[in-house]
Amino acid sequence: MSSSIPSLCRECGTHFNATLEDQRCNACASPRLISHPELDSLSIAHIDCDAFFASVEKRDNQELKNKPVIVGGGKRGVVAACCYIARIKGVHSAMPMYRALKACPDAVVVKPSRGKYSEVGRQIKGIMRDTTPLVESLSIDEAFLDLSGTEKLHGGSPAATLVKLIKRIEDEIGVTASVGLSYNKFLAKTASDLDKPRGFVVIGEAEVLDFLGPRPVGSIWGVGKSLRSKLERDGLRTISQLREMVEDELIKRYGVIGKRLSRLSHGIDSRIVEPGSKAKSISTETTFSDDIQDLETLLHRLWPLCEKVTKQLKTKNLAARTITMKLKTSGFRSLTRSRTLSQPTQLAEVIYQEAKILLVPEVNGTPYRLIGIGTSQFADPEFADQADFLDDSIDTFAKVEGAMESVREKFGDPAILKGRTLLNN
């Protein structure tokens, strides 16, 4: 006699115990079943909308429904987002527009409408918070949810509640989303990427080592290209190979990130879902007593601001993806320029180097009365500064700033300064 396992129908929400032979819901005959031995005991979820920008555009223009859609700029721009039809033809986010149109010449290109996407994102987050107060927003269209203790409130397991939640998003908002359900954030986010669009993937504790083992090290959330290359050069290509290394050896080889790699390779992630509104930006600026128009002096004034912003990031336990530089001319005209990093940072040197790239083109003889630096698009600092900036330079930056912080903790901020700061005095 076949054993049965907990199952849910994604169409009608019926919960029943299914056997291996059961391919359809016993209530509505839908084939969209979720079956897993731990289905009723897991409560940490990651929800990610499917091709969000493109899905909103298709929702608002039914003529686009069955067409490849690219959201982006002109021929010299890049792809901000694309639908799954376009993805099948080789288009992906951040691809230059000319290459995207070459891969998919029949695509419909739609100019981004950030305000509209933000409003839809707020509506989706509102539905999530109706379900549980423990919602941790990651971006405009994705979030972690902790549904622990919601069984009585919603009359069913967290998995059953998630089925209702996703259906409500589809019915009320008109876009689809994919769900990852597990016992921690790392595995929930991993699961949500496995079966898009409209996916619902469950990863339980009993299977985690077997599930993670054959996966490439680059599939670990937060492992960038540089770190992945370094791990692969060292013969660590799969998570199972990573798991065979003792934690102390990984820390010795790769620094602080080694500890996280060891724990995630075993499916261990102790981070909790943290709701609440964190700061949207952290910035600081300085007004000059006399206008400045030469690059060297502006850079001297820029560095202390980068250190100040970094200190605030670390105090608030944040890392930033977007760096914004602000200038104000002698005629009080404001100018801002931004860059978004491939990974978040907490390092003053990284912020300074990125701001320098933004500043140089603006030094053209114009006298400036103010310079400022800002950071935004925050992320978990655990995933910051992972040797993806200027190859291995990131390790040097981190060690230098760590040493400076140690000295300052003992003797005060003026005890140790970089040369570019001294030139500013």
Give the whole-angstrom CA distance, residue 247 versus residue 256. Answer: 10
Q: Is 314 buried (19+), middle (13-18) or exposed (0-12) by CB count in 10 A?
A: middle
Place of tokens 């996966």: 215
According to the model, what pLDDT value does residue 412 have? Answer: 53
* Interacting residues of 75 by C-beta distance below 8 A, sequence separation 6+: 97, 98, 101
Among residues 386, 323, 320, the alpha carbon closest in space to that of 354 is found at 323
The SS3 of residue 19 is: strand
Q: What are phi and psi of 110, to 5 degrees?
A: -120, 130
Owner of token pair 């912080």: 405
Q: Which residues pair with 238 in a beta bridge?
A: 216
232 is catalytic: no
Q: How far apart are CA 289 and CA 320, in angstroms?
A: 30
Which pLDDT score is estimated for 94?
A: 83
Distance (Å) of CA 129 to CA 19, 132, 144, 147, 169: 34, 5, 11, 11, 12
Identify the pLDDT of residue 411: 53
CA distance linking residue 264 with residue 221, whole number of Å: 9
Q: How far is CA 357 from the centre of its chain?
A: 24
Walk along the chain (425 residues) in steps of 10 and give the mean pLDDT of each run: 81 87 86 93 97 96 95 78 95 90 95 90 95 91 95 94 96 96 96 94 96 94 82 94 93 85 94 78 90 94 93 86 93 89 87 94 94 90 63 62 58 54 49
Q: Is 186 exposed, middle or buried (0-12, 13-18, 19+ CB in 10 A)?
A: buried
Which of the following is catalytic: 38, 142, 349, 354?
Answer: 142
DSSP-assigned letter for residue 271? P
**Helix spans in 201-347 (H):** 208-212, 225-233, 239-243, 247-254, 257-265, 295-315
According to the model, what pLDDT value does residue 400 have? Answer: 62
* Residue whose structure tokens are 């305000």: 115
pLDDT tens per residue, range 176-206: 999 999 999 999 999 999 999 999 999 999 9
Residue 109 has a pLDDT of: 94
> Does residue 197 have a cis peptide bond before it, meaning omega lies within 30 degrees of 0?
yes
Closest-CA residue to 323 (of 308, 312, 309, 303): 309
Distance CA 350, CA 319 (A): 12
Record the tokens describing residue 160, joined without a space: 């059953």
